């Protein structure tokens, strides 16, 4: 065990955990004010529900030995997960670090179904999804499964996290259907500063996401860390230029989106490519996502916060470009297309395809199964009122006027009698 | 001339505006208001503090119209703002003593008659 590695992984775990509330702010700013809390709560709830599911069963399914497809149940309820060394850090710390990945991946999917999904159905969905979709794909790539066997490169989760969440988001948006106001009324972000704040905190946390994926305080962590700085910077520059070319104005929502797309794209590549390749990869990743966002908004697909364009497509571009730019001189293990190993690109494409198909099919099955037991969608009336009031009984921006304190067992009718005359003759 | 004052649900506003524009009612003022119209209050809870929200968010529209425009205006609002549940709002039609159009100084009927919008303006 190496003390420096333990220290860095402890910090990285905390950094990745911060990304989930950060995602809540990123998403929360993009929805209408009447759904702000609901959207934030979709991320916050994942901290609890997926966190517990991970400890009880998810970790075992993902990282216990098992077979090429799924881990076995030997680590169920954290059995045999103790303070003994796993590599250079305690096994328990590795479990915690991976848990923070499961939490954010499930939360990412929420961006496709905001402003309309019943909260109870959502909680059921992310819990099942983290066990039945996230854990298997994590096993394939990182837990000694079949994609690891083929030599697929996924440094910090381009496939496991972003493509996986992107495919699930696409399917979830289709199964739930569009918001009732979608393409009928202008639906505008209610707090763009929240979105920028969320993007900034995501970037900060991503240093732990990518830097920590080296599983130690070592040179590969430095490479991944630096690439996490450089790639999104390049994406931001290209995105800005595309904005200028299109409308002559550089948008703030665009900048926040660009940073996230760059971070997504560099995730699979972070510890495998040179810093200059990372710049190139970041810049290139701006193009497909930028145009996909513009195109999606004109379709009937209400992937409300563009999880598919940002995470699905960004992750796919990143995963494929990892197969192009990987460089043994920097990573010591594998070369990509540009360095004489075209086969790597094929392996990357197979990994992308496999996770898209698996995630899409499983997500449909999970949602359909939940729909047999409970409705997935809020009623149109609840949707009109806003999900903050209808699902949570709270408002993000509550006005105190007209709020009457309900005191336990004090005669509330008496209080109402005092207030009612004051309201009589009110305009409506 | 009449002043049509309507209080409607905020989530119905877009539909109401669409209906008004279809009825060729141009020129209106709106503000966001809070009110109580007999609808069931909803309860919100913040850390153990439960409150009954007596006031709900509404939108109030004010539309100055000439007499023969009152009916189409009212019809448009009735059609678009109705959900059938308590809390759909009210429409008041008030007599108006005097109207001036500030830009031209026109009075009364002339002041509430919409300007023909020149094509391409």
Q: Does the beta-carbon distance from A402 to B49 stay under 8 Å?
A: no
How many domains does chain B contain in total? 1
Interface of B with A in 31-70 (CB under 8 A): 33-37, 41-46, 49-55, 58, 60
The verdict on residue B21 lying in a domain is yes
Residue B10 clears pLDDT 70, i.e. is over it:
yes
Interface residue B27 vs chain A (CB under 8 A) = no
Q: Which CATH superfamily is domain A3-384 in?
A: Ammonium transporter AmtB like domains (1.10.3430.10)
CB contact under 8 A, A401 and B58: no
**CATH code assigned at B42:** 3.30.70.120
Q: Can you tell me the mean pLDDT for B42-48?
A: 83
B119 located within any domain: no
B29: contact with A, CB 8 A cutoff? no
* Nearest-CB residue to B36 (from A185, A403, A426): A426
Confidence of residue B119 (pLDDT cuts 50, 70, 90): low
Task: Name residue B64's beta-bridge partners.
Answer: B3
Domain containing residue B106: 2-112
Chain A hits for B14, Cβ within 8 Å? 181, 184-185
Give the HSE-up count for residue B15: Cα atoms under 13 Å, Cβ half-sphere. 15
On whether residue B117 sits in a domain, the answer given is no
Residue B42 lies in a domain: yes
A:B CB pairs within 8 Å: 67
Q: Tell me the two tokens of residue A241.
A: 């230029």
Give B9's contacts in chain A (Cβ within 8 Å).
384
Q: How far is B48 from chain A (nearest CA, A)?
A: 10
pLDDT at residue B41 is higher than 80: no
Averaged over B35-44, what is the pLDDT? 82
Q: Indicate whether B93 belongs to any domain.
A: yes
> Which residue in the set A395, A403, A426 is minimally distant from B35, CB to CB?
A426
A24, A48 Cβ separation under 8 angstroms: no
- Residue A418 pLDDT: 43
ipTM: 0.71
For residue A419, what pLDDT is reported?
A: 44
What pTM did the predictor assign?
0.88
Q: Alpha-carbon distance B6 to A132, whole Å?
A: 52
Which residue of B49, B50, B59 is the best one to mutate when testing the A interface, meaning the one whose CB has the most A CBs within 10 A? B50
Please report the pLDDT score of residue A423 as a whole number: 44
Two tokens, residue A386: 């806003």
CB contact under 8 A, B89 and A428: yes
pLDDT in tens, chain A (428 residues): 999 999 999 999 999 999 999 999 999 999 999 999 999 999 999 999 999 999 999 999 999 999 999 999 999 999 999 999 999 999 999 999 999 999 999 999 999 999 999 999 999 999 999 999 999 999 999 999 999 999 999 999 999 999 999 999 999 999 999 999 998 888 999 999 999 999 999 999 999 999 999 999 999 999 999 999 999 999 999 999 999 999 999 999 999 999 999 999 999 999 999 999 999 999 999 999 999 999 999 999 999 999 999 999 999 999 999 999 999 999 989 999 999 999 999 999 999 999 999 999 999 999 999 999 999 999 998 999 999 999 999 999 987 777 888 877 655 554 444 444 444 444 44
| Residues in contact with A31: Cβ distance below 8 Å, sequence separation at least 6, in sequence order | A38, A39, A114, A115, A189, A190, A304, A305
């Amino acid at each position: 065990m190496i003390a420096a590695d333990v220290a860095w992984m402890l910090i990285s775990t905390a950094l990745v955990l911060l990304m989930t509330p950060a995602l809540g702010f990123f998403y929360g700013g993009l929805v209408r004010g009447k759904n702000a809390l609901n959207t934030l709560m979709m991320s916050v709830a994942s901290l609890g529900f997926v966190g517990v599911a991970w400890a009880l069963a998810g970790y075992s399914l993902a990282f216990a030995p098992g077979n090429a497809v799924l881990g076995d149940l030997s680590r169920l309820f954290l059995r045999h997960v103790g303070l003994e060394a796993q590599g250079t850090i305690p096994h328990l710390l590795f479990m915690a670090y991976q848990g923070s990945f499961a939490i954010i991946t499930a939360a990412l999917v929420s961006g496709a179904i905001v402003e309309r999904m019943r909260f109870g159905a959502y909680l059921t969905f992310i819990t099942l999804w983290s066990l039945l979709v996230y854990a298997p794909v994590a096993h394939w790539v990182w837990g000694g499964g079949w994609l690891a066997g083929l030599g697929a490169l996924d440094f910090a989760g381009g496939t496991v996290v972003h493509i996986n969440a992107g495919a699930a988001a696409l399917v979830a948006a289709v199964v739930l259907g569009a918001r009732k106001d979608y393409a009928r009324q202008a639906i505008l972000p209610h707090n763009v500063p929240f979105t920028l704040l969320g993007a900034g905190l995501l970037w900060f946390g991503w240093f732990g996401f990518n830097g920590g994926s080296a599983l130690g305080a070592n040179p590969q962590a430095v490479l991944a860390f630096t690439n996490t700085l450089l790639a999104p910077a390049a994406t931001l520059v290209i995105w800005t230029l595309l904005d200028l070319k299109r409308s002559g104005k550089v948008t703030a929502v665009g900048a926040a989106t660009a940073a996230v797309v760059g971070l997504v794209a560099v995730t699979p590549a972070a510890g495998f490519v040179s810093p200059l390749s990372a710049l190139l990869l970041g810049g290139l990743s701006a193009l497909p996502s930028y145009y996909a966002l513009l195109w999606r908004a004109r379709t009937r697909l209400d992937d409300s916060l563009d999880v598919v364009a940002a995470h699905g497509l960004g992750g796919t571009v990143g995963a494929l470009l990892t197969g192009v730019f990987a460089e043994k001189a920097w990573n010591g293990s594998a070369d990509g297309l540009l360095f004489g190993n075209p086969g790597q690109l094929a392996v990357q494409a197979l990994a992308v395809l496999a996770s898209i198909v698996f995630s899409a099919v499983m997500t449909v099955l999970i949602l359909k199964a939940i729909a047999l037991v409970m409705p997935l969608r809020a009623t149109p009336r609840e949707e009109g009122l806003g999900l903050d009031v209808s699902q949570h009984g709270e408002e993000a921006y509550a006005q105190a006027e007209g709020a009457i304190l309900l005191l336990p067992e004090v005669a509330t009718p008496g209080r109402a009698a005092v207030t009612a005359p004051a309201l009589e003759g009110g305009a409506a | 001339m009449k002043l049509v004052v309507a209080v409607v649900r905020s989530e119905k506003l877009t539909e109401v505006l669409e209906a008004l524009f279809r009825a060729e009612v141009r020129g209106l003022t709106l503000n966001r208001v809070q009110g109580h119209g007999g609808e069931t209050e909803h309860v919100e809870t913040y850390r153990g503090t439960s409150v009954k929200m007596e006031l709900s968010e509404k939108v109030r529209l004010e539309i100055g119209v000439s007499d023969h425009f009152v009916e189409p205006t009212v019809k448009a609002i009735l059609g678009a703002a109705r959900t059938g549940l308590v809390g759909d709002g009210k429409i008041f039609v008030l007599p108006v003593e005097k109207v001036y159009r500030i830009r031209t100084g026109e009075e009364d009927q002339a002041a509430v008659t919409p300007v023909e919008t020149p094509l391409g303006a």
